[in-house]
Chains A and B, each alone.
Chain A
Amino acid sequence: MKERSLPADNLNRTVDLAEARSRHNLGARRFVIACLVLSLGLVASVALATGIGRMDVGWGAIAAVVLGKLGFHTGAVDRTTEVVIWGIRLSRVVLSGLVGAALATAGVIFQGLLLNPLADPFTLGVSTGAAFGVALLVMLGVGGSFLGLSPLPLGALAGAMGAMAAVMVLSRESGRIRKETLILAGIVVSTFLAALISLIKSLDEESLSAIVFWIMGSFSGRGWIHVGFLLPYLAAGLALGAIYHRELDIMALGEEQSHHLGVAVSAVRLKLLLGASLLTAGAVSVSGVIGFVGLVVPHLVRVLAGPSHGRLLALSAATGALILIWADVLARTLLSSGQELPVGVVSALLGGPFFFYLLKSRRSRGMW
């Protein structure tokens, strides 16, 4: 009976191994193809989005300006067109893409870590916390930039982590974070801080529309300097996510199993929360609070690419970038009057119904 219950060990293991390897590679190949498609989509989107706007610039001019900036000598483009393409449009498109990537990957980390399908920087109150941090610094007159770095993202980081801590404390019940109360706590903290932001900005005698643009998010008037502010935070956050992606997979099984499998749970969780906070803080400090990107994109990508967090992070970054680039194009072109919408309005308008559909179709399949 001993032998019979262990027929396994005698079987030809090389065949099995080769099969598992090839399946593994098959998955890897699909992932590479998805990456290629998304990269091409991104390049095309950046070019297209740069061409769209109130002033008609023409594709030749865009190519000439970009190549010129890269050091190639091309035909002269008139100064105004160059400023519009390089200084206004392209910088804004790139920034919206990077913010989209940051918010989407922050969403991936929050959802995996907190085992909560509704978790994202916005629903957890982390975005609003970051925005509050920035608003506070601006009110206190701290601003400007030194060596291309700004103190504002630091304020955003402090605000993000403060809000995160507050939400954790609020939703903690006898040592455990309650899933059900987590989002509730996030909304409470978020609403409270949004009210405080409005108060601060009103006291600072800013216009109502400026406040709305801050709370709903906007890329209006943003340029390369903001790309510089965001980049170190984006890089650090993505690096943390990439280093700990395997732990993220395991921690999606829950705290106890992660412990049994050898994950140093509290230390890893702290690092990943820091990563997600860095991503959120970087994004919010340059664009205000943009909701739904971090919520919807991870779900969308998970349906297509499976739950493995390494791939999820990479593909979500690209997808988030794509979505926010086009959301911003809509935000600046939708109103015929030439006025801009807050980009958060567009992302919510697109994301809301889509998320509703996701929730419905997932529940019917028994997932979450």
Chain B
Amino acid sequence: MIRVEALELGYEDRLVLAGLNFQVDRGEFLGILGPNGSGKSTLLNALSGLLPPQKGRIIVKSEPLRGLPSRLRAQILAVVPQSTDVRFPFSCLEIVLMGRYPHRRRLGTLTDADLVWALKSMRRTTTSHLKERPIIEISGGECQRVVMARALAQDPEILLLDEATSSLDVRKKLEIFELLKFLSDTRGLTVLCAMHDLNLAALYCRRLMFIKHGRVVVDGPTDQVFTPAILSEVYETPMEVVRHPGHLRPYAVMLPLSPGTWEDETGVEPMEAAQS
């Protein structure tokens, strides 16, 4: 589905990511993890065609990404950004219908298929009740789900999410990831999401890629790479990984940076303790 070859990414003379080589197959659910500033967003910007590679190439469905006409690209690839700033009072349904743009003929009228896709996407993201509301009046979390609906309305084969659920509450987060997992399992949707929430990633992503200092540290099945050693190294934080007795998925617990427990009054400032 996506193949990345010897990719180097950066802005002007600043190199952000280098030596990227990987492949993502149809229906994969990949989580991209790493500390702040590790280059997750840069990678997603490149995969969405926004940032031209400095070296190497990105191949989507055996076509170079740069060579894809924009409408065709948007039929294959949809993006949910971290946040969305809309200043025009479009109704939420109008916003979601914009997701049909790559499928609509120029000057063609709105077809039933377009409306069905928009309405279905809104139901799937539990935003149906917002149809007539102006996008500028709804909350940040609602807006994020409407933008998610818009991306689904594009009927993409690949979905890129850049911290797309960070602003949502726990329930909404889970709902969105349930939906992504469902679409990935049953419709073969390929999902790539950059995220900070380790446990959410471990719960839903079947494959994880850890990025640090502009390089891929490790990339593999969640069960093999979601280990205390790798997590502690990537985040420079002591971590423990436990398997939940119920669903048997791993989850990470961070340990305090200072030695001992909080009951111990060592009299040492936590930051000093961590550095020593």
Contacts and interface: CB of A to CB of B under 8 A. Distances in A.
B86 interface: yes
Interface string A249-280: 11011101101111111000000000000000
Interface in B142-182: 150-151, 154, 174-175, 178-179, 181-182
The secondary-structure label for the interface of chain B is helix
B224 to A, nearest CB: 25
Interface stretch (A14-22, A49-57, A123-131, A180-188): A14-22
A243 B107 contact: yes
A5 B171 CA distance: 11
A213 to B, nearest CB: 37
Which of B81, B89, B132 has the most C-beta atoms of chain A within 10 angstroms of its own C-beta? B89
A1 B177 CA distance: 12
B48 A260 contact: yes
B182 to A, nearest CB: 6
A7 B178 CA distance: 12
Contacts of B200: none
B175 A5 contact: yes
Determine the interface band of chain A, counting residues with CB < 8 A from chain B.
35 or more
Contacts of B174: 5
B136 A260 contact: no
Nearest to B107: A243
Interface string B233-267: 00000000000000000000000000000000000
A264 B98 CA distance: 14
Determine the interface band of chain B, counting residues with CB < 8 A from chain A.
35 or more
A1 B74 contact: no
A253 B124 contact: no
Contacts of B69: 264
Contacts of B104: 246
B24 interface: no
B90 A307 contact: yes
18 contacts: A8-B123, A9-B123, A9-B124, A11-B123, A20-B131, A243-B106, A252-B90, A257-B81, A257-B84, A260-B48, A260-B74, A260-B78, A261-B98, A262-B73, A262-B75, A262-B102, A263-B70, A264-B70
Given A246-B106, A249-B98, A259-B48, 13 more contacts: A5-B178, A6-B124, A16-B119, A20-B115, A20-B131, A24-B115, A252-B87, A256-B50, A261-B74, A261-B102, A263-B101, A264-B70, A265-B70
Interface of A: 1-2, 5-9, 11, 13, 16-17, 20-21, 23-24, 115, 243, 246, 249-250, 252-254, 256-257, 259-265, 306-308, 366-368
